[in-house]
Structure 1
């Protein structure tokens, strides 16, 4: 059977090109997702500040609630500190030398009175300089009131040993004497300042706790054994960079999550495309299979032949696609770096594991698709074989129809979710609902397209002459072929439109609620944050801290535990005059350390009322049990949790406010205040709110969706070219009975316009239903937010792709003489 299959593939190479391309591209995307996921666990950047140590001990950033499975966890947004007592515990390990490190934001003020631009800068205790190692280039170790700068920072500040430099650490700048200049091998990603042990501990503001512990002279296994049960992370090798750089740690978490969700979509779309392509390939060979049945081939032999052929093609395409996935993953990494999701120096981890997994998924998807496509040609009886070969079957199987209509109903039901669940979850459900609708319409496509054709075909026949009559006759008799061409175009339009406008609608809803909810006259922001002391120095009005942070929650559904990171904010009790949370019950005037306000939707979901205790985890992974003092409606602007500013600030590494909201104070007085804090600025109203994270998420979604749409576009062109090229004998017969070449071209142009028109209508409907419901749920209006040009561009792109693919393949098919083409085997 393998020999026969291989001979068939070689003899019908052109017939298998479509399936080959679909499997090749699908495997490449899945392999790229696998590489990104593996990089989320093993990738990173070269270690710099911890280059001289064997092991780094940091706080455990993984939040996994009791009873959760291995995949139910979240990565804490902030690096937690660890007890200083662990230094002695580690030092007890034979041969180990433990060095505690304090790390805190420290900004050097330049000669112009403004913070030095460039690399982020951090302060450390001088003892931790050995971890890099930093060595003194000039001067000596710092004492109280002194600082050691790294060589690059000293040059940028224009200071030398014995000079003075102003440093800002969570307060107004303080002047220090430069005791020395240090340097380490290579150029670091961060600038470093070193203080004496006493000063560093005071500036860090964490009594009896340290940021990390570097270990020299011991392996990770012994250190882990010594710290068992202390809830810390022991890193060695390449993992040390994640302990050193917060952006690397977050990047690894983002890549793992993104690759999982994006990979799921990619696998689903790949299976869908491969299945439709193989079904079209098998359908075009129905005469061949009918002949095999007529000469005695059993149904099992026909199924085995199709299965082995598919395996041969999918293995070759899968191997090449897996290798191509390396290039795709590098391209995605470059795109993610450009939009700020991945550091420029973050290196991917490439191993055979994701490549082998992608190959298995590609071959498995192809075999499942082949099994589905082989059922019909293998089930017809030998007596019916030749007749079945002459006329295409028009009916759709009852099981397929039942599944299709069930998916359509499920998709329509899922579109209502944003009416009850807002935010990013509601937008994601809109995309999922559209995808389910597309799959349902693909399964019921012949019926849906057939119904549309019965309405449109008579108009074509009467209005477009001979070409219109021929086109109408073709689409009436071959609705399944037309549906096969319409479906991928519909997928491209619907998927592109719903992904883009779901994000723009969510962004508009957040902005709308922000403008309505933040009623302050002025907003003070800074480059690295606003020192908490600024609030108390505002005169002539009232002020409140605003701390943007995250919390991690866990909810139990049946036997499973779902862990989720949620946006949160910290406010002072005085915020009631400057923000409008849409309070439903309780009062934010009662917001004190140890209390929390919940969004009304989340409180209802968790069955919590004012006075109840709610459990969650702070941004640094520390567990919290706080009393609920209020519930509110404006969750898009403030997230599901509003904490006291003190609690929110205490669990961030910066220890500063994200902004200060001010009402009633004079702008001139505020300018005078902020002039004492280099880097602070005053703006009016909500315009100062940071939209960077949402913009990055939006661009991230666009990149991911763009890759899938690129694959869909290739499959669309692939399908249209295959279905048109398979009609060479039909074109030849038309020309032999007197139809002109131009009439055939016009007939195909008419069919192409009908294909594109139906795809545009169905794709628009598939996107419109969930988007309208989403817009109503988020903004109260049925019109999704966003520029209309993107929708028109999606229609134009799909139309151009469809028309060009059909036109080019038609003209190529018409090159041969009719008398030669009519005798060409299928």
Structure 2
């Protein structure tokens, strides 16, 4: 039957084009997601600053938990590790110990710290002694020798610059310019003493360069430092590299799983429609004694041939798509530019395998009913297709809907974004799959209700109502991808909107200050504003993340003085007055996860992995708006990488903003704005970046779904050329037939919008209940109307083009 299948494909190219396109884009998505996943698992960031140093000694960037498991009497020790958000510093005295190791010729200590050029780029400051690591050499000028001198790389312009650091702004004279520049960082070099002062870490260094690369493990014993060579040097140079890799693993896995489910659903629908369009042909084969097994083998052979070609082409397209995604993620700041894609054989192979397996399964499932019809009934069934559901499909649909209900209940109890995010999309897809399986029944009921108004209109409406009623299975095939598109689009857009609205509401309700300072606020700038007459309180707010027993929590570090005048966290027990230097306030959700209450001890690993023992002094309700934990600023700020990356809330009733602006004249980079709410407890973890990445990634799924909508509608309309010709011969005009097609399409869109909206609303309500405690999702009316309009425009365009071509072909 394989030869027969090949012959069928040769003579029905147009009929199989829709299935080919569905498989092509499905394979492309799977391949692109696989490349992202593979890059996250095996990718490595190339070192830049440390490229000329064979061995780097730096801190262990992870917190650890040792677990002992007993298996068949044997004790297995597992060391679990998670990366921290900030840089782990090491003792400067370690350099002397390393220098005594046999074979070591040179040891170069290094300090790195954020140094923002006023009116210019953000840079990284170093001591000139560590220029040897890259190495940097002077193109002009000399090395810095005093506290007021600086050497800049060739990307910085000017003979005198103002540099902003946590120690405050200071003007420096440029005494030298380096010959080298680095692609992803701007470098400033100060004298050794000045660099140590600006770094604010007395007795500590960022890293130690060792020449040549020898075994220094004995010298590092007990220090907490680790040796890094080869590509591992990029990890310690670019701290965001590990987070980017973890993001790619999570994104590739989640997007790949979602894409695969959507692809299977689309491909099954496409093949089902393709086989429906061949009912007469298959019926003829059954009538001339073709067995059910032969029919299944023929259809399976067709699917195999199409999927092999589409899978191979889709894999190539997927590689290009992965490259495009990488470029977009780099531009968004979600991954470093020197993290190249890992292109191995497995993602393309997985794409081809997914296309083959998906198409073969889809073809066999779609052909199941047709191949089992008795020969004597085959032609009659093809002439008058039934909309009745088989028992197996009905039971499967009900079972899937039961699974969707279970997922919805589970989702309504998930209170963390990490846990709920993958379940949200899965819930929406499972609801859609259930409705797709029951689509003929749903389509019959909905078209019966909506067909009555159509029959009251002129010829086009009458014909549309009659066609919708007679061709239920075709209508169901069109409704399914439209429902998927609406459901997925609404869910993706409004999940982010629901979270944003909840975060914004808590931030607005909890912000009592009238003004906010930012985006960079040094302690000196905050003190300058405190001295302005009439200012009641200035609360410095530093966003960060911490680890508690390996789990990551968002946190804000605040100055306790006058806190009640600037923010209201919604304290439900305890008091923020006892925050002091060893207290911690915890949100209700975090307290539930940690099992703590007021008075409980809590060990927290700060941004640089420093463990601190704290006492819970308060539990508050506004965790979405202000973070999971609230820490004393004096405790957390010294352990942050960039202590300038903070804001300050100002309570100053009756004080003009101009007076505060005047106090900040000596502090460039700090501006005054009305306080309209906090930043939503982002925890310094790039919440807006993650949101943008999610939109880009899930936008691919929406685009694929939109393509499937156009594909399905074009297939369904193009196959009706014989029907349209017959209607023309019995007196229907071209205008009436196009009107009929438009009304049919609009009816299908309306049904799909109702179903898709219901699916997304149920999913979003469960999500909102779990994440915010209130089962009320936020839906932007303009965004919703945009989704509906996009569905209608795509559907009408696909139907209109295919309909005109069909009419022209039969003219």
TM bin (shorter chain): 0.7 to 0.9
Q: Where does residue 205 of structure 1 map in the other structure?
A: 200
Q: Where does residue 169 of structure 1 map in the other structure?
A: 165
Q: Where does residue 822 of structure 1 map in the other structure?
A: none
Q: Are the equivalent residues in 2 in contact too, given 1:125–1:195 (CA < 8 A)?
A: yes
Q: Where does residue 159 of structure 2 map in the other structure?
A: 158
Distance between the aligned counterparts of 2:169 and 2:731, measured in 1? 91
C-alpha RMSD of the superposition: 3.6
Q: Where does residue 449 of structure 2 map in the other structure?
A: 455
Residue by residue, what CA displacement relative to the aligned partner does 1:134-154 show, whole Å, maximum 9, x if unpaired? 12345554446364412437x
Report the CA distance between 1:22 and its aligned residue. 0.5
Question: Is it true that 1:117 corresponds to 2:120 in the alignment?
Answer: yes
Report the CA distance between 1:322 and its aligned residue. 0.9
Aligned partner (choices 98, 106, 110) of residue 101 of structure 1: 110
CA gap 1:168/1:471 in 2 versus in 1, 3 angstroms: closer
Report the CA distance between 1:313 and its aligned residue. 0.9
Aligned partner (choices 522, 537, 542) of residue 530 of structure 1: 522
Report the CA distance between 1:713 and its aligned residue. 1.2
Deviates most, 373-382 or 755-764:
373-382
Residue by residue, what CA displacement relative to the aligned partner does 1:785-805 show, whole Å, maximum 9, x if unpaired? 464222222212211211221
Question: Is it true that 1:27 corresponds to 2:27 in the alignment?
Answer: yes
Aligned partner (choices 660, 668, 684) of residue 678 of structure 1: 668
Deviates most, 421-430 or 187-196:
421-430
Q: Where does residue 2 of structure 1 map in the other structure?
A: 2
Q: Where does residue 378 of structure 1 map in the other structure?
A: 371
Q: Are the equivalent residues in 2 in contact too, given 1:772–1:782 (CA < 8 A)?
A: yes
Question: Is it true that 1:268 corresponds to 2:261 in the alignment?
Answer: yes
TM-score (norm 1): 0.86
Q: Are the equivalent residues in 2 in contact too, given 1:87–1:98 (CA < 8 A)?
A: yes
Q: Where does residue 785 of structure 2 map in the other structure?
A: 792
CA gap 1:398/1:616 in 2 versus in 1, 3 angstroms: farther
Report the CA distance between 1:549 and its aligned residue. 0.8
Distance between the aligned counterparts of 1:343 and 1:535, measured in 2? 36
* Number of corresponding residues: 792
Q: Indicate the SS of the match to 2:280.
A: helix
Report the CA distance between 1:589 and its aligned residue. 1.6
Instruction: Map 1:314-329 onto structure 2 (within 5 A).
Output: 314-329=307-322
Q: Where does residue 162 of structure 1 map in the other structure?
A: none
Report the CA distance between 1:813 and its aligned residue. 2.2
Distance between the aligned counterparts of 2:300 and 2:64, measured in 1? 44
Deviates most, 92-101 or 251-260:
92-101
Q: Where does residue 79 of structure 1 map in the other structure?
A: 87
Q: Are the equivalent residues in 2 in contact too, given 1:535–1:544 (CA < 8 A)?
A: no
CA gap 1:773/1:349 in 2 versus in 1, 3 angstroms: closer
Distance between the aligned counterparts of 2:353 and 2:609, measured in 1? 37
Instruction: Map 1:122-133 onto structure 2 (within 5 A).
Output: 122-133=124-135
Q: Where does residue 724 of structure 1 map in the other structure?
A: 717
CA gap 1:467/1:182 in 2 versus in 1, 3 angstroms: closer
CA gap 1:679/1:29 in 2 versus in 1, 3 angstroms: same
CA gap 1:203/1:362 in 2 versus in 1, 3 angstroms: same
Residue by residue, what CA displacement relative to the aligned partner does 1:432-466 show, whole Å, maximum 9, x if unpaired? 433332222112111111111222334433x1355
Q: Where does residue 553 of structure 2 map in the other structure?
A: 566
Deviates most, 372-381 or 10-19:
372-381
Deviates most, 743-752 or 615-624:
615-624
Distance between the aligned counterparts of 2:268 and 2:464, measured in 1? 27
Q: Indicate the SS of the match to 1:440.
A: helix
Question: Is it true that 1:441 corresponds to 2:435 in the alignment?
Answer: yes
Q: Indicate the SS of the match to 2:557.
A: strand
Distance between the aligned counterparts of 2:803 and 2:183, measured in 1? 59
Question: Is it true that 1:259 corresponds to 2:252 in the alignment?
Answer: yes
Distance between the aligned counterparts of 2:301 and 2:57, measured in 1? 53
Q: Where does residue 570 of structure 2 map in the other structure?
A: 582
Instruction: Map 1:374-523 onto structure 2 (within 5 A).
Output: 374-411=367-404, 414-415=407-408, 421=414, 424=417, 430-461=424-455, 463-523=456-516
Distance between the aligned counterparts of 2:182 and 2:581, measured in 1? 42
Report the CA distance between 1:428 and its aligned residue. 6.6
Aligned partner (choices 537, 544, 550) of residue 542 of structure 1: 537
Deviates most, 643-652 or 766-775:
766-775
Distance between the aligned counterparts of 2:98 and 2:284, measured in 1? 78
Q: Are the equivalent residues in 1 in contact too, given 2:67–2:79 (CA < 8 A)?
A: no
TM-score (norm 2): 0.87
Report the CA distance between 1:764 and its aligned residue. 2.5
Q: Where does residue 647 of structure 2 map in the other structure?
A: 659
Q: Indicate the SS of the match to 2:109.
A: strand
Q: Where does residue 823 of structure 1 map in the other structure?
A: none
Q: Where does residue 821 of structure 1 map in the other structure?
A: none
Q: Where does residue 333 of structure 1 map in the other structure?
A: 326
Deviates most, 238-247 or 762-771:
238-247
Residue by residue, what CA displacement relative to the aligned partner does 1:561-608 show, whole Å, maximum 9, x if unpaired? xx7543211123332332111111111222234432211122123322
Q: Are the equivalent residues in 2 in contact too, given 1:523–1:688 (CA < 8 A)?
A: no
Report the CA distance between 1:127 and its aligned residue. 2.5
Q: Are the equivalent residues in 2 in contact too, given 1:59–1:231 (CA < 8 A)?
A: yes
Residue by residue, what CA displacement relative to the aligned partner does 1:491-538 show, whole Å, maximum 9, x if unpaired? 1122212222222232222222112112123323243x4237845972
Distance between the aligned counterparts of 1:429 and 1:107, measured in 2? 41
CA gap 1:732/1:765 in 2 versus in 1, 3 angstroms: same
CA gap 1:521/1:367 in 2 versus in 1, 3 angstroms: same
Distance between the aligned counterparts of 1:244 and 1:372, measured in 2? 53
Deviates most, 140-149 or 61-70:
61-70
Q: Indicate the SS of the match to 2:598.
A: coil
Distance between the aligned counterparts of 1:624 and 1:273, measured in 2? 52
Residue by residue, what CA displacement relative to the aligned partner does 1:665-708 show, whole Å, maximum 9, x if unpaired? 85566445433333222333246859994443333333223222
Q: Indicate the SS of the match to 2:196.
A: helix
Q: Are the equivalent residues in 2 in contact too, given 1:538–1:673 (CA < 8 A)?
A: no
Distance between the aligned counterparts of 2:129 and 2:495, measured in 1? 51
Instruction: Map 1:729-808 onto structure 2 (within 5 A).
Output: 729-735=722-728, 739=732, 741-771=734-764, 785=778, 787-808=780-801
Question: Is it true that 1:814 corresponds to 2:807 in the alignment?
Answer: yes
Q: Indicate the SS of the match to 1:485.
A: helix
Q: Where does residue 602 of structure 1 map in the other structure?
A: 590
Question: Is it true that 1:287 corresponds to 2:283 in the alignment?
Answer: no
CA gap 1:809/1:70 in 2 versus in 1, 3 angstroms: farther
Q: Indicate the SS of the match to 2:347.
A: helix
Residue by residue, what CA displacement relative to the aligned partner does 1:288-314 show, whole Å, maximum 9, x if unpaired? 334444444443333333223212111
Gaps of 5+ in 2: 69-76
Residue by residue, what CA displacement relative to the aligned partner does 1:302-348 show, whole Å, maximum 9, x if unpaired? 33332232121111111111111122223323333444434567643
CA gap 1:370/1:237 in 2 versus in 1, 3 angstroms: farther
Q: Where does residue 193 of structure 1 map in the other structure?
A: 188
Residue by residue, what CA displacement relative to the aligned partner does 1:201-234 show, whole Å, maximum 9, x if unpaired? 3433334432123344327xx5689869976665
Residue by residue, what CA displacement relative to the aligned partner does 1:724-760 show, whole Å, maximum 9, x if unpaired? 2223333344455555555444333332222122122
Q: Indicate the SS of the match to 1:815.
A: helix
Q: Where does residue 134 of structure 1 map in the other structure?
A: 136
Distance between the aligned counterparts of 2:222 and 2:368, measured in 1? 57
Gaps of 5+ in 1: 109-114, 160-164, 555-562, 819-826
CA gap 1:213/1:314 in 2 versus in 1, 3 angstroms: farther
Q: Where does residue 53 of structure 2 map in the other structure?
A: 53
Q: Indicate the SS of the match to 1:77.
A: coil
Q: Are the equivalent residues in 1 in contact too, given 2:491–2:764 (CA < 8 A)?
A: yes
Q: Indicate the SS of the match to 1:105.
A: strand
Q: Are the equivalent residues in 1 in contact too, given 2:545–2:607 (CA < 8 A)?
A: yes
CA gap 1:414/1:580 in 2 versus in 1, 3 angstroms: farther
